[in-house]
Structure 1
Amino acid sequence: MTTSMAEMFQLVAGNIWLYGGSFLLVLSILVFIHEFGHYYIARLCGVRVEVFSIGFGREIWGFNDKHGTRWKFSLIPLGGYVKMFGDSDPASAGHSDKVKGEGGEAPRAMTEAERKEAFFAKSVGKRAAIVFAGPAINYLFAIVLLAGLFMFHGQDVTPAESSAVIAGSAADKAGFKPHDVILTIDGQPIDRFDELRRSVMVKLDTPMEFTVNRAGEVITLTATPERMETEDRHGFKSTRGMLGVISPGDGLAIDNIVAVNGQRTETPEAIRTALLANMGKTFTIMLDRGAKEEGMVVQPLLEQNQDLKNPESEGYNVLVVAQGAPQKTIRHNPIGAVGAAVAETWSVTTSTLEAIGQMFTGTRSATELGGIIRIGALAGDMAQVGILALISFTALLSINLGLINLFPIPMLDGGHLAFYAVEAVKGGPISEQFQEYAFRFGLAILVGIMLFANLNDIVQLVL
């Protein structure tokens, strides 16, 4: 067992209720929301729902409601389903117009009244609406969660400012300077550093055009983010694009600065003296990052660094490189919160699609595809950070669940919608035999992806 896997095992074992409980709670909520979307629209369309299950396999606990639906929790809590009346299985891969006889009697034909409650007998538009409701409500749920955060807690906003530039980075080569304010990326306006980070991290080997405000002058810069492989504390690896600009933050620790303008110094006092002598100028510092030293181009301002002169101040050991407030929290009104939540949801969706597309083209390694272990580790980490982080993670996962279910793969909602689109065009349903083969193929694809993703998790922990 490698150090990473041993450390993760000890971490999870010591926090089993936190990691396991957080994962199952988040997953169960999202599965319920997704399946409830199917259920609710099915009921509106007059379809009888026979089973609403959280989990698969043997039933643990359940009850029947007045509409004849069996609500239950099942043994394997890694998904869920609703089974519509008339469907031969929960995936709606086939149907039957026969009804089980009572008391051991042979199956009988549906009555006209029963047929009106069957999913397969509804119009293609109603069936499409029922299927689409699952992914749609995942998106709606994410927007509601984010809007609630933005209203009651506020949206943390870090300005899209290059407070410092890493020496030799893509940004440095492209001509970025300290205090450049990024206005647009590839023609799209941005306001927050998070938008810059998200745009850059999914760009691999792709030139990007930046419009920046430099002391009142608007200029255009072109940079190609560099590939950087990162590894989290659990050992999971991912590749991201790195521009090399530093966001406005709390500052740089004086103890980590080992040189100013190429001149190495021995004491923190000498570092402070050298820094104060260069305030307002553009110069370089060298930071000790442990495994390596990293150069950085900075232009700190004296008014932001008065604490360097006062040994009693909290900022005595910190170099502030930002020109203004590093971050502010904006509490939106309801309309503004919804707008910000929709924008965030759209940004996550487009970034995810771009990253998945890169896996297909080979630009990004498919080994970054994570499974249950990685999701569980992230859920536990977010729970440790706090409830706000866990809510944000739940919203992110809800977006991804909705998006993945829209992929046109048989067995997924998107596969059903593709069949319904063909049916609408040709004026009749696709043959059940073809659908059966397609669903078997789709099941094989999904099982293969799940095995591959979870094997990725195990391999990255072991190696």
Structure 2
Amino acid sequence: MNAIFDLLGSLLVHVVPFVLVLSIIVTIHELGHFLMARAFGVKIDQFSLGFGKRLWSRTDRHGVEWRVAALPLGGYVKFSGDLDASSVPDQAGLAELKSRLIAEQGPGAERDYFHFKPIWQRALIVAAGPAANFILAAVLFTVLFSVVGEQIVAPRIAQVVPGTPAAEAGFRRGDLITSINGRAVVEAAEVTQKVVLSANEPLTFGVRRGEETLSLTATPERVIEQDEIAGRVRIARIGMSLGPLVRSDFSYRPLNPLEALQRGVGQIGATLNTTLTYLGRIFTGRESGDLLSGPLGIAKAAGGATQQALAGDGGAGIKSANLALTLLQFAALVSIGIGFVNLLPIPVLDGGHLMFYAYEAVARRPVPARVQDAGFRVGLALLAGLMLFATWHDLQKLNLFAFLGGLAS
């Protein structure tokens, strides 16, 4: 019985935050498409949160059916006149749709339908989904930075582990890192990020030791760590920890809403830059992809962040506030990820539609149906492959294979 309660408790901690955050983010994404389409007078049939069996629905005065479906892991906006899954009919399909609309509703009726809007309007409608994700992230980061302010921890070395690249390079406790490969750094997080993305690549550190200025070179190596949030991961380290040792190593100042917004937008840019760098390293074989996460990994991270927030010191009020701020940051990062993925030039995603519209703008005709169909199939295969790749790493990070091996032994 205790095992059942433990399982239910674990599901509550991991699944509920994940579903809640994902539902909000997907809703905002689809609202981006919806509001931009409404602004251009596009006729819309349906707005659905979730897939599968309908749980609730209501039709508004504009004829839009708003529905909630059983599987809350996505959603969609269905424009009137959609002919196929790609939502980009070819020339023959457009001609057939236009003649049918004129026959049913009269001349000019087609102008209210998405596929007959100018290319630039269709492109804006498609791009509005990912844009809504980035706007949501900016809003969440603005709230977060408005509450917590700007906190800067200097890259001071608090500990050096013997026998590691940092020890062999000559780092000592109390050293202050001032640059990496000639680029100035002022925050400990900058050093950590650079090291994580530089496995097996020598890094030259500018170091201030008392009155001396030194140049030390260390090569990050991959180690296996059990992260409280992400699980078991292989990650690049050089064997030192950073932390404030003197009062001047930590600074704080409150931020007004404008400053918080600027910091939030900067955080989005930094996250996208890190993502692109990491993906580039995967494709060139310099990273294994351990830090990529699929649904299982995101759910695990949501649960881990929730547990960490609730495990802190303080009463219920402080823990609730800590949980709210933690989920704000988590939701902002997931929203950036969803916006980025949707902009990839894969036909089943928003980026694929934009790619088709770019062709249409140049060729002055839609992409042929056979090309769209082939692209749609290839896109599904790519997404399935990416999902399997991420899920494989999720299962490894969760030690599920070791667990199953233990059951079999």
Whether TM exceeds 0.5 here: the answer is: yes
Greater helix share, structure number: 2
Listed as ranges, the matches of 1:429-448 within 5 Å are 429-448=366-385
Report the Cα offset of residue 327 of structure 1: 4.3
Report the Cα offset of residue 25 of structure 1: 0.4
More displaced 10-residue stretch of structure 1: 235-244 or 18-27:
235-244
1:167–1:433 Cα change, 3 Å: same
Aligned to 2:405: none
Counterpart of 2:186 in structure 1: which amino acid? D
Per-residue CA deviations over 1:45-79 (Å, capped at 9, x if unaligned) read 22222211111122111212222221111121111
Listed as ranges, the matches of 1:363-402 within 5 Å are 363-366=286-289, 368-384=291-307, 385=309, 386-402=323-339
1:393–1:66 Cα change, 3 Å: same
SS of residue paired to 2:35: helix
SS of residue paired to 1:42: helix
- Cα distance in 2 for partners of 1:219, 1:241 equals 23
Q: Unmatched 5+ residue regions in structure 2?
A: 310-322, 403-409
Report the Cα offset of residue 83 of structure 1: 1.4
Report the Cα offset of residue 414 of structure 1: 1.2
1:100–1:179 Cα change, 3 Å: farther
Contact 2:230-2:304 at 8 Å conserved across structures? no
One of 169, 174, 188 as aligned partner of 2:169: 174
SS of residue paired to 1:116: helix
Report the Cα offset of residue 218 of structure 1: 4.3
SS of residue paired to 1:163: strand
Aligned to 2:277: 354
One of 205, 227, 247 as aligned partner of 2:242: 247
Report the Cα offset of residue 187 of structure 1: 4.2
Contact 2:221-2:236 at 8 Å conserved across structures? yes
Contact 1:81-1:90 at 8 Å conserved across structures? no
Counterpart of 2:126 in structure 1: which amino acid? V
Listed as ranges, the matches of 1:49-448 within 5 Å are 49-89=44-84, 91-94=86-89, 98=97, 108=103, 111-233=106-228, 236-248=231-243, 322-324=245-247, 327-366=250-289, 368-384=291-307, 385=309, 386-448=323-385
More displaced 10-residue stretch of structure 1: 237-246 or 392-401:
237-246
- Cα distance in 2 for partners of 1:421, 1:402 equals 19
More displaced 10-residue stretch of structure 1: 356-365 or 402-411:
356-365
1:110–1:160 Cα change, 3 Å: farther
Counterpart of 1:166 in structure 2: which amino acid? V
Counterpart of 1:345 in structure 2: which amino acid? I
Report the Cα offset of residue 163 of structure 1: 2.6
Aligned to 1:301: none
More displaced 10-residue stretch of structure 1: 191-200 or 162-171:
162-171
One of 390, 400, 406 as aligned partner of 1:461: 400
1:412–1:10 Cα change, 3 Å: farther
1:213–1:337 Cα change, 3 Å: farther
Count of aligned residue pairs for this structure pair? 381
For normalisation by structure 1, the TM-score amounts to 0.75
1:161–1:438 Cα change, 3 Å: same
Contact 1:99-1:110 at 8 Å conserved across structures? no
- Cα distance in 2 for partners of 1:214, 1:41 equals 56
Contact 2:229-2:304 at 8 Å conserved across structures? no
Counterpart of 1:352 in structure 2: which amino acid? T
Q: Root-mean-square deviation (CA), in Å?
A: 2.9
Counterpart of 1:382 in structure 2: which amino acid? A
Moved over 6 A (4+): 7-10
Q: Which has the larger radius of gyration?
A: 1
Counterpart of 2:342 in structure 1: which amino acid? N
Counterpart of 1:165 in structure 2: which amino acid? V
Report the Cα offset of residue 148 of structure 1: 0.9
Q: Unmatched 5+ residue regions in structure 1?
A: 1-6, 250-321
